[in-house]
Amino acid sequence: MKKIGIIICDRYHTCAGGKCFRSMGAREGAFARYADEDVELVGFTTCGGCPGGNVEYAPAEMKANGAEVVHLATGLVVGYPPCPHLNCFREFIPRQFGMDVVVGTHPIPEKYNLVHEELGTWPAMTAQVDLEELLADQKTRLAYD
């Protein structure tokens, strides 16, 4: 059983997590890596708003609940601009809490893919491997529009 936590961008603080939970159940997007194992969500919260003050504390609670991995939600990537603190979170969480970090949850909806392709925002991101999983295929992206 893989226990995970999810941290979403605070600008989406009213998000009910529908796409994240749907993709976790279907093992799509960043959850495709768990195709052959059970997954349990043990924490779900926002970053706390820029610059992400909640990231200093929330992973500790998730870890106390058994989390081994923290997923930084897809909203941190598809929002405009993408989270400017994403790389800091990717470095801080493993160093401070000894937990793995995955960038993304649900597949990127096609409408966001098209806009970010046009703007050229993603090629500069260091999370290119994570983006490959999140981009999935067009059929999947359209299903998450």
Cα–Cα distance between 111 and 105 in angstroms, integer?
Answer: 17
Please check whether residue 37 is in contact with residue 1, taking contact to mean a CB–CB distance below 8 angstroms: yes
Instruction: Quick: pLDDT tens for 90-129.
Output: 999 999 999 999 999 999 999 999 999 899 887 877 766 6
Assign a CATH topology to domain 2-143.
Rossmann fold (3.40.50)
Contact 109, 143 (CB under 8 A): no
> Alpha helices, DSSP H only, in 98-144?
110-119, 128-135, 138-143
pTM, rounded to two decimals: 0.94
